[in-house]
Structure 1
Amino acid sequence: MAQSPLTFTACLACAASTLAATASLAPSQHLLDTSNLNGEIPDTIGEMEALVHLDLAKNNLSGKIPSSLFLPKNLSIVYLYRNQLSGEIPRVVEALNIDVIDLSDNKLNGTIPEDFGRLRNMSGLSLFSNQLSGKIPDSIGRLPRLMILKLFTNNFLGTLPPELGRYSKLEELQVSSNSLTGNLPEHLCDNGRLIGVVAFDNNLTGKLPESLGNCSYLRIVSVYNNNLSGNIPSGLWKTLDLSILLLSDNSFTGKLPQSVSTKLSRLEMSNNKFSGNIPDGVSSWGNLVVFEASNNLFTGIIPNKLTALTRLTTLLLDQNRLSGSLPSDIISWNRLNTLNLSRNEISGLIPKELGSLASLTDLDLSENQLSGQIPPQLGLLKLNIIQSLFQSFDWEDPNTIRK
């Protein structure tokens, strides 16, 4: 039931008074409410000496977070996410035993208080989707119990804390959509517990940390749209649980490995400087669903063993230097909906088997050296065909091609 600002303020003030009088009672250690509250959080919240768990998430609270918020010495969990809170994050005064702070999805500005580096028990810090700026304090990287750090979609500048992951059991790092510079910290996976690194849409430079090749539990690495370079750590390709690897729009170099994680389902590496052949070992990448490698320096033929990837829905190999003919067993790509091989040096005929790919909706083979007729079987498909596909081809009945 929604409450007016005055009602909410009175309610909180009442709760504060009650807790101050009954500080030793365990039932009074929690303030939980997701009842569409609105108004501001009163300063009296700092008088709730027994407060351990504060959860006012997913309401319509507005105004500033009171400077008294971090006064209760036993405060452990602070959930204020998905509100309309504004202003700066208050300093930590007495609440040095905090375990989790989640202030995400608000309108907070200013910087992360340096005091947060004193929270030695903190395991989770979520400040994403705000308007925060400045540098992430280096002291955050030295917190011994930090497991989750989510700071994405803000305006943070400067480098990431260089010791991040060195002293803690870091599991999740999400810092995408900021203006961060410098390298990813070398020690990110020193403790081997890292599950995800999400740092796309920044200005990061340098190589991927070698420690990422020693992460047994790593599932996702998403670093597209940065200025990263160098080779991918060899161990990263074979990380057992790796399922998503997003590397596009950087300056990475090197060759594709013969083998990758058997769980890899999404590999995006377009707009880089990868080179060499597509290896025959690609046939072992059996769980791959999306393979995007446009605008690189790949050479050689498209190996027929690529057709062993029967789960593919998207295959983008355009703007490379691939040659030879199209694979003969292309019919095995029966789940494929997007195929772009344009702007290569592919020759020979367009296989009639393309017409059997019932899921195919987007096809671009333009700017190659293909010859012969467009197979009438393509008329069985509802294709969004780029017009230049037809250039330099003959066909008996253009009306058989659906646009």
Structure 2
Amino acid sequence: MGASFATLHVLFLIWFFPIAFSLSLFFFKAESNSNVSCNEKDKQALLTLKRAFTDHEHVLSSWSDHKDCCLWDRVFCDKKIGRVSELHLNHSRLGGEISGSLLQLEHLNYLDLSYNDFNCTRIPIFLGSMFSLTHLDLSRANFSGLIPHQLGNLSSLRYLSLRNNSDLYVDNLHWMSGLSAIQYLNLGYSDLHREVDWLQIMSKFPSLSELDLYNCQLDSLNPSLGFVNFTSLQVLDLSKNHFNHEIPNWFSNLSTSLLRLDLYNSSLKGNILPSIFNLEKLEYLDLGLNSLNGPIPSSFGNLSRMRVLLLDHNQLNGTIPKSLGLLSRLENLYVGKNSLTGIVDEGHFRKLSKLKELDMSEAGLSFNVNSNWVPPFQLEYAYISSIKIGPNFPSWLQSQRFLSVLEMSMSGISGKVPGWFWNWTSNITVINLSNNRIECDVSDIFLSHTVKELNIANNSFYGPISTFLCQKKIRKNKLEVLDTSNNLLSGELSHCWKYWQSLIHLNLGSNNLVGRIPYSMGALVNLQSLCLQNNSIYGDIPSSLKKCLNLRLIDIGDNHLSIIPLWIGEMTNLLVLRLRSSEIKGYIPQQICQLSSLRVLDLANNSLSGSIPNCLKNISAMALPDSYDNSFSYFVSFIYWNMQASYVENVQLGPKGKEMEYKENLKLVRLIDLSSNNLSGSIPTEISNLSKLRFLNLSRNHLMGEIPEKIGSMKDLESVDLSRNHLSGKIPPSMSNLTFLSLLDLSYNNLSGRIPSSTQLQSFDALRYIGNPQLCGDPLPKSCTIEEQSLNRSPIGSVEDDSKNSSFYISMGVGFTTGFWAICGALFFIRTWRDAYFRFVDEIKDWIYETTMRKMNLL
């Protein structure tokens, strides 16, 4: 036993000693290399580079002449020779210039300048002379202009990313043939449309494994090509281009190693071709947001490695093949927003044990499973809106322990919410049960601290609103969206708003709420939209709402309010103000003109008096073109960026006399509606400055005077209603310029003269001009007399004006007589003048004849 142990001990030493010796040499070598100092030439080059940069965040503060440059932040050296090999300058907010001193870093192989801001400058040409580079990342660095051909000289480059820059473009791609070692190539958002042979060029790189040409303005996949040889390709992203044709057959020749194919939003047409199914190793396929039609092929069941299958937002029809239920690795299945039909049952999910995201919304499907069905999957996201699920509440949801988003609106569910539901929502973030026929006492609702959106609009929820808002069990909520509109809620608004300070969107409209708007609502400092429309709320709008500086939409219409408060002008971020049908008295305050961002002003059907403020021209959002600003679109469609879920604002507006609901299209509206009030005075001429206004309704008031002469400069107008006022004078000829008009109503005023001739104005029915006795011309049946036509030249004057006109005409007659005899008498009595005159007339006649004949010959 002892001998055996000794033998083992010796063998262990024999085995261990070389390893220990090698490790000791390694650590000694590493320690020695760590003492190698930075090359002085490299150090000075980096200091020159630093001086050319603008360093807003001081990320280069460690770059000092008194410190070894290999120890500087974001700098890495080759420890064997002490030369700078890598610069990781990404996400640094650097700007300024990129110094040519980089060329002195002869051993630099890794350069990352992504996520900086070089202010639309061009990519430096000298980068094409840094032959040791293997990794170059200039993505999201705000470069612009022509991508330099010199980059094609980097024959050692394996990674090149220029994605998401400003207006990069190429004139051709033949220079890329020099990138013989390239493995990763990303030109996303660059304009490549000038190169028609892009596909043949890209397919010649033998080592290329990932190609990303997202949003590159490509317009053809060259469907006539029979063969494309991507020998090593694993990832191909051609999303958001403009191919406008079918998926080409050459996809079947793609590398058998292809793992990911992304053709999202690329204007593809036709059927999903069988060539896709030759890609046996495919794990990710995105064909969403195209115009694909026909059925979903059952051959998808053969792609056994598929993890993500996205076919949503197309025109696919037929049923969902049950072969999809065989994809045992599938995690994401999106087939929503198609024209599918038929029933989805347990068989469609037979082996989908790894499914986490399911989207079948708006696909025309019916979900029909047994009440005791327990799915094989555990979903995190369930988008099952606008498909038939009801009438019973789906009991299978109770088994889903990790669900974060439940979108189940318009699903035909009726009856009471089951007792388990509200306690089940312990991990959920978004609950959308809107547009069903669900009954529930709001006091039974329990919200866990994870819930950010509760949308129960258009149901039959009932009970006092204060009971819900003030219950202790939900006081620690983090709710950002609460929409209980169009239900049966009752009682007064509570004073418990201090527990709801995370709210961004609040809609309690169309319920049975009563009482005043509580002052405590000023605690909602994050609020962006406040909708209390169509209730029985009365009194003042509390000044505490001034604290809600982020408010962009206020809709308190269809209530019983008092006046428009003067402090409304302090809500400078306001985009939509709707106070229609709220019994508001008083006048429109001048302070409303301070709302320069306002896009919708709806004060219709109240008891407002006084004049229209002449300062409306200060509302610049209705006067200036839109700048590229996502903030309003983001407000209208509030998106949770960490998940695929959103809340869409909705407002009832009547721009053309008939109320309709505006959702995503709200961002397109520019509206002023002051109709059905007691406003007097004239229409301010300054209103013509609102050149981007689309809908103008001033009807049913007591307005006098003329229609503003320059109304034709408001060329975006789609609807103008000035009916049932006391307007006089002519219709301005400039109205002929309003080529986008689809509604015009000038009826029942005191307008006179001929209706100006234009394709647009004559296209409206005569009823739009009726009730103006002195108005004539097409489309009215009344023809214009000479006197009525003259009304277009001058308005009817007073007696004094007539006397002045008579004197003018008498004077004109005397002058004409005097002038006539002064000239003609001289010609009659002086022969030389008479001869010269007739000679001149003969010459003019000859010139006219010759000119006419020359033009006739040309014709």
Larger Rg: 2
Aligned Cα root-mean-square deviation (Å) = 3.8
What is the aligned residue count?
Answer: 381
**What's 1:79 paired with?**
382
Q: Is the 8 A contact 2:463 2:488 kept in 1?
A: yes
One-letter amino acid of the structure 2 residue matched with residue 89 of structure 1: F
57-66 vs 225-234, greater mean Cα deviation: 57-66
Within 5 A, what are the aligned runs for 1:16-95? Answer: 32-34=332-334, 38-41=343-346, 53=356, 55=358, 57-58=360-361, 60=365, 62-64=367-369, 66-67=371-372, 69=374, 77=380, 79=382, 81-82=384-385, 83-89=387-393
CA shift for structure 1 position 195: 0.9
Residue of structure 1 aligned with 2:420, choices 107, 112, 115: 115
Output the CA distance in 2 between the equivalents of 1:105 and 1:112.
15
Counterpart check, 1:356 vs 2:662 = no
Output the CA distance in 2 between the equivalents of 1:230 and 1:71.
56
One-letter amino acid of the structure 2 residue matched with residue 331 of structure 1: S
CA pair 67-257 structure 1, distance change in 2 beyond 3 A:
farther
CA shift for structure 1 position 32: 4.5
TM-score scaled by length of structure 2: 0.39
Output the CA distance in 2 between the equivalents of 1:200 and 1:387.
34
CA pair 80-322 structure 1, distance change in 2 beyond 3 A:
closer
CA pair 154-228 structure 1, distance change in 2 beyond 3 A:
same
51-60 vs 269-278, greater mean Cα deviation: 51-60
Q: Is the 8 A contact 2:398 2:421 kept in 1?
A: no
**What's 1:198 paired with?**
507
CA pair 182-151 structure 1, distance change in 2 beyond 3 A:
same
**What's 1:310 paired with?**
620
CA pair 95-40 structure 1, distance change in 2 beyond 3 A:
closer
Unaligned runs of 5+ in 2: 1-295, 299-318, 623-669, 765-859
Output the CA distance in 2 between the equivalents of 1:146 and 1:252.
33
Residue of structure 1 aligned with 2:572, choices 256, 262, 284: 262
Q: Is the 8 A contact 1:372 1:393 kept in 2?
A: yes
Within 5 A, what are the aligned runs for 1:196-235? Answer: 196-235=505-544
Within 5 A, what are the aligned runs for 1:245-324? Answer: 245-258=554-567, 259-312=569-622, 313-324=670-681
Residue of structure 2 aligned with 1:242, choices 543, 551, 564: 551
Output the CA distance in 2 between the equivalents of 1:324 and 1:219.
35
Output the CA distance in 1 between the equivalents of 2:297 and 2:508.
38
Structure 1, residues 306-349: CA drift from partner, whole Å, max 9, x if none?
A: 22113333111122222223223222111123222222233333
Output the CA distance in 2 between the equivalents of 1:63 and 1:270.
45
Percent identity over the alignment is 25
Q: Is the 8 A contact 1:190 1:211 kept in 2?
A: no
Output the CA distance in 2 between the equivalents of 1:354 and 1:80.
48
Structure 2 counterpart SS, 1:107: coil
Output the CA distance in 2 between the equivalents of 1:84 and 1:10.
20
Output the CA distance in 1 between the equivalents of 2:359 and 2:715.
50
Output the CA distance in 1 between the equivalents of 2:689 and 2:489.
43
Structure 1 counterpart SS, 2:751: coil
Higher relative contact order (Cα pairs below 8 Å, separated by 6+ residues): 1
**What's 1:150 paired with?**
455
Q: Which has the higher helix share?
A: 2
CA pair 61-348 structure 1, distance change in 2 beyond 3 A:
closer
CA pair 227-103 structure 1, distance change in 2 beyond 3 A:
same
Structure 1, residues 219-249: CA drift from partner, whole Å, max 9, x if none?
A: 2223333333333232335622222222222
CA pair 366-135 structure 1, distance change in 2 beyond 3 A:
same
Q: Which has the higher strand share?
A: 1
CA shift for structure 1 position 116: 2.8
Q: Is the 8 A contact 2:434 2:457 kept in 1?
A: yes
Output the CA distance in 2 between the equivalents of 1:53 and 1:296.
52
CA shift for structure 1 position 218: 1.5
Q: Is the 8 A contact 1:65 1:87 kept in 2?
A: no
Counterpart check, 1:125 vs 2:435 = no
Residue of structure 1 aligned with 2:751, choices 393, 396, 401: 393
Q: Is the 8 A contact 1:133 1:157 kept in 2?
A: no
Q: Is the 8 A contact 2:414 2:439 kept in 1?
A: no
Q: Is the 8 A contact 2:382 2:403 kept in 1?
A: no
TM-score scaled by length of structure 1: 0.78
